Amino acid sequence: MSDRYSKLFAAYTDAITYAKLPKETVHEVKRRILDSFGTAMSAMGEDTPKAVRNYAYDYALAPGQRGGTLWGTATKTPPEMAGFVNGVAVRYLDFNDTFLSKEPLHPSDMIGALMALAEWNGNTTKELITAIAVAYEIPINLCDAASLRKNKWDHVNYIAIGTACGAAKLLGLTGEQVEHAISIAIVPHASMRQTRAGELSMWKGAAAANSARNAVFGALLAAKGVSGPYQPFDGEMGFFRQLLNGEKFDEKFLKGMEKKTPPSRIMDTYIKFWPVEYHAQSAVDAALKLHKQMNGAKLKSLHIDTFKASYEIIAKDPEKWEPKTRETADHSIQYITLVALMDGKITKESFSHERIFDKTTRAMLKKNVTLAEDDKLTAGYPFGIPNRITATTDADKKLSLEVSFPRGHAQNPMTDDEVVEKLTANTEHCWTPAQRDRVVDLVFSYEKHSVADIVEAIRV
């Protein structure tokens, strides 16, 4: 059933073991697990995570039955369902990690699904770390190799490929079984970019979790002998023809996997410092610095200069100028930057219904905010994410600042202490300091513990 690419991804998945992982990769996987726990716990009480959790409660397993735990609870469900629920929580606040290239990606969208499967399957924590490292490596390389967004398809199709490979690793699949898992994950479940067009719905925060769920489902079927469609990438109606408009992956970005190079691309990804779409992170950094410089002066007008990818993803739609949902607001660079300038902070409350519909803010967005795409800023992407903002005060004083590498970017990474500080802020409403410290200790010494130990430790 092989085509060149399913065979390549399967061979790479089979070749990587925990012993081959660089120590830096292992440590970074642990940081991403901690970050995922924090973003998920912070979102526990929000509408979409609550809705999908209530859906899963209807399928709760009896005590003692093998399953995956819904994070923060004692409830277990089949692993693909638990992975979906946990993935929605990780993604909901738009606060989990990011990679930017020809295609953007939030790689930690895969962690909830892989952890649920590992818990259900009885994998060791070393096996889970290895699966996560493999799962990151493959789609990050694909983001360099070809753009789905350019062809009107969603980045979560790469999440499906990565999760299928990580799930196959956990299940011990080899050869054709891994290829079948990949094929079942992607061919029946191609995800449209319409998820992120116009007014955004709850599904914006669920699409990646759904792709990860489909990948786990595909791996579980492949483990039982189910075959997937042949030639999923190269076939007449396969991935390249349908999702890339006939384009293929740029081969130079696949060389490392061909050579079985140990996973390290996780080091090229970014932990978010602010709970907003990543292209706006530098705009927030700039806005908060200018807010201090304004020294209490009233904002008269705001101009934003941004780069092409930012303009296309979080600026161009008319809905971005008058958002009606949380999902649209946290994907509107206009709204995000204005609120950061006005309030001097960005938190999840910046996207509450009350804040979004504040009359003064909406009037400012309509009459006093302008935006332009700047070719010089575009040239600085994706190495950086350059945004320049200019604030004019009521005394007609102009303040301007450009930022390319916000805190958390690979060129300006967060320290371990900062990752823990972010976790603390995200969990202070539901964990005691002692519980937080225990979770941190467990994750940073993960190899000494079981998957079940950490799932139990994060219970609210």
384-401 per-position pLDDT tens digit: 999 999 999 999 999 999
Residue 1's pLDDT is 60
In tens, the pLDDT along 202-226 reads: 999 999 999 999 999 999 999 999 9
Flag whether pLDDT at 449 surpasses 70: yes
Q: Averaged over 288-307, what is the pLDDT?
A: 96
Asked if 314 and 368 count as a contact pair (C-beta separation under 8 A), the reply is no
| Crossing angle (nearest 10°) for helices 23-42 and 111-121 | 100
CATH for the 4-268 domain, from 1.10.3210.10, 1.10.150.530, 2.60.40.10, 1.10.4100.10: 1.10.4100.10
Can you give 71-119 as a three-state secondary structure string?
CCCCCEECHHHHHHHHHHHHHHCCCCCEECCCCCECHHHHHHHHHHHHH
* pLDDT bucket at 77, cuts 50 / 70 / 90: very high
What is the predicted pLDDT for the residue at 406? 97
User: How many CB atoms are closer than 10 A to CB 324?
Assistant: 13
Per-residue confidence (pLDDT) for residue 301, from 0 to 100: 97
- Mean predicted confidence (pLDDT) in 12-20: 98
Residue 2 has what pLDDT? 77
In the chain, domain spans: 4-268, 278-403
Can you say whether the dihedral through the CA atoms of 11, 261, 253, 104 is positive or negative?
positive
Give the 3-state secondary structure of the chain: CCCHHHHHHHHHHHHCCHHHCCHHHHHHHHHHHHHHHHHHHHCCCCHHHHHHHHHHHCCCCCCCCCCEECCCCCCEECHHHHHHHHHHHHHHCCCCCEECCCCCECHHHHHHHHHHHHHHHCCEHHHHHHHHHHHHHHHHHHHHHCCCHHHCECCHHHHHHHHHHHHHHHHCCCCHHHHHHHHHHHCCCCCEHHHHCCCCCHHHHCHHHHHHHHHHHHHHHHHCCCCCCCCCCCCCCCHHHHHCCCCCCCHHHHHHHHCCCCCCHHHHCECCCCCCCHHHHHHHHHHHHHHHHHCCCCEEEEEEEECHHHHHHHCCCHHHHCCCCHHHHCCCHHHHHHHHHHHCCCCHHHHCHHHHCCHHHHHHHHHCEEEEECHHHHCCCCCCCCEEEEEEECCCCEEEEEECCCCCCCCCCCCHHHHHHHHHHHHCCCCCHHHHHHHHHHHHCHHHCEHHHHHHHCCC
Tokens encoding 4: 């060149």
According to DSSP, the residues that pair with 403 across neighbouring strands are 387
- To the nearest 10°, report the CA torsion of 237, 238, 244, 250: -130
Assigned token pair, 299: 């904002």
Given CATH 3.30.1330.120, say whether it is the number of domain 278-403.
Answer: yes
> Two tokens at 451?
């998957």
pLDDT of residue 188: 97
Q: Do residues 103 and 147 lie in contact, with contact meaning Cβ atoms separated by under 8 Å?
A: yes
- Write down the pLDDT at residue 209: 98
pTM: 0.96
**Cα–Cα distance between 409 and 425 in angstroms, integer?**
20
The pLDDT of 132-140, averaged and rounded, is 98
Nearest to 182 by CA among 216, 143, 148: 216
What tokens appear for 15 in the block?
């070749």
**Percent of the chain at pLDDT exceeding 90:** 99
- Average of per-residue pLDDT across 146-155: 97
Q: Is the pLDDT of residue 318 over 70?
A: yes
Instruction: Compute and round to an integer the Cα radius of gyration of the chain.
Output: 22
- Average pLDDT of the residues of the chain: 97
